[in-house]
Structure 1
Amino acid sequence: MAGALAVTGLTLAPTAAAVTPQSATINASCGIFGGGTATLTATQSGGSATMTLTSSAITAPVPVAQDSIASTLTLVRAGGGSVVFSGTRNPAMNTGAPVSVGPLPGTVASGDSLEAYGGSLKMVIFGVTVTCKATAPQAPGPFVFD
């Protein structure tokens, strides 16, 4: 019986899917709200993926409560189209604190190659829309999903 339960447990365990690279660096411009280096971190579980953006160069313009920023991250798909990651996940931030949003959920297909350059990050903070765009391709390269 214990052996059957162990096998059942293995059967129900999610398969590990990998995205490479797991993180990439971009240089982002957010207009009057600043800009600079930001890090995108990706995770994948099957057809679901999340993206998190953090930056000490881009700072919160006002104090922000936890999970109060409506964020939409659009990444460009190699070969055409785009993939959107969106949600309201963020830590609490004081004025001038480094910006961090995510993990933002999205749907990916096996083989998707996604790049921030050509896409955007839109954050709505207390009704004010902040749009950030990558000024060059991400390094070390696009996210490729299993």
Structure 2
Amino acid sequence: MRHGIRRIGVCSILAAGTLALAPTADAVTPTTATISFDCGLYGSGAATLTATQNGTSATINLSTSAITAPIAVGANSVKSTLTLTNKGAGTVTFTGSSNPAIPAGSPVSTGPLSGTVASGDSLEGKSLKVVVMGITVTCNATSAQTPGPFVF
């Protein structure tokens, strides 16, 4: 019986050590922010940005009432480019062509949009370009991100 208990104890210690050494994902704060966009003839409105980070890779999902789909849009058919300023100077671009199916008249959702970040990057939305069925819509930020920029 003692031999079995000793084996369980050693295995538990090894498992705990493995968990302690496992790499952790980097954290971005805040994880969710809002910003307003003006998309010219296509409308204006708020957008919700949700960011995640894993090392130097980051993704942002975006949903905005600034652009609505005039007709039903199929999944993975929206090409998007989100440009963010980095500490007020320079830019970082997130791109992708992944989206859920969007019913006619519904707000556009896109993402995950992928980009590369460095530790200490402080990114705030600047512009959004969306291409749907060959139509390009360019939106410019009209407000600061709330509660603030994404810090990686």
TM-score normalized with structure 1 length: 0.87
Deviation at 1:142, TM superposition (A): 0.8
Which runs of no fewer than 5 residues in structure 1 stay unpaired? none
Partner of 1:99: 108
Which among 96, 113, 136 is matched to residue 143 of structure 2?
Answer: 136
Distance 1:8 1:103, change over 3 A: same
| Percentage of pairs with the same residue | 60
Partner of 1:112: 121
1:68 maps to a residue whose letter is S
Greater per-residue helix proportion: 2
Which protein is bigger by CA-based radius of gyration?
Answer: 2
Q: Distance in 1 between matches of 2:109 and 2:99?
A: 6
Alpha-carbon RMSD across the aligned residues, in angstroms, is 1.8
Which among 16, 19, 32 is matched to residue 41 of structure 2?
Answer: 32
Q: Distance in 1 between matches of 2:104 and 2:25?
A: 38
Q: Could you list the runs of 4 or more consecutive aligned residues of structure 1 that deviate by over 2 angstroms after TM superposition?
A: 1-11, 55-58
Partner of 1:23: 32
Q: Distance in 1 between matches of 2:105 and 2:20?
A: 46
Partner of 2:3: none
Partner of 2:128: 121
TM-score normalized with structure 2 length: 0.84
Deviation at 1:115, TM superposition (A): 0.8
Which runs of no fewer than 5 residues in structure 2 stay unpaired? 1-9
Equivalent residues in 2 for 1:6-21, closer than 5 Å: 7-8=17-18, 11=21, 13-21=22-30
Distance 1:15 1:62, change over 3 A: same
1:69 maps to a residue whose letter is V
Greater per-residue strand proportion: 1
Deviation at 1:31, TM superposition (A): 1.2
Q: Distance in 1 between matches of 2:43 and 2:114?
A: 25
Partner of 2:82: 73
Distance 1:128 1:57, change over 3 A: closer
Partner of 2:63: 54
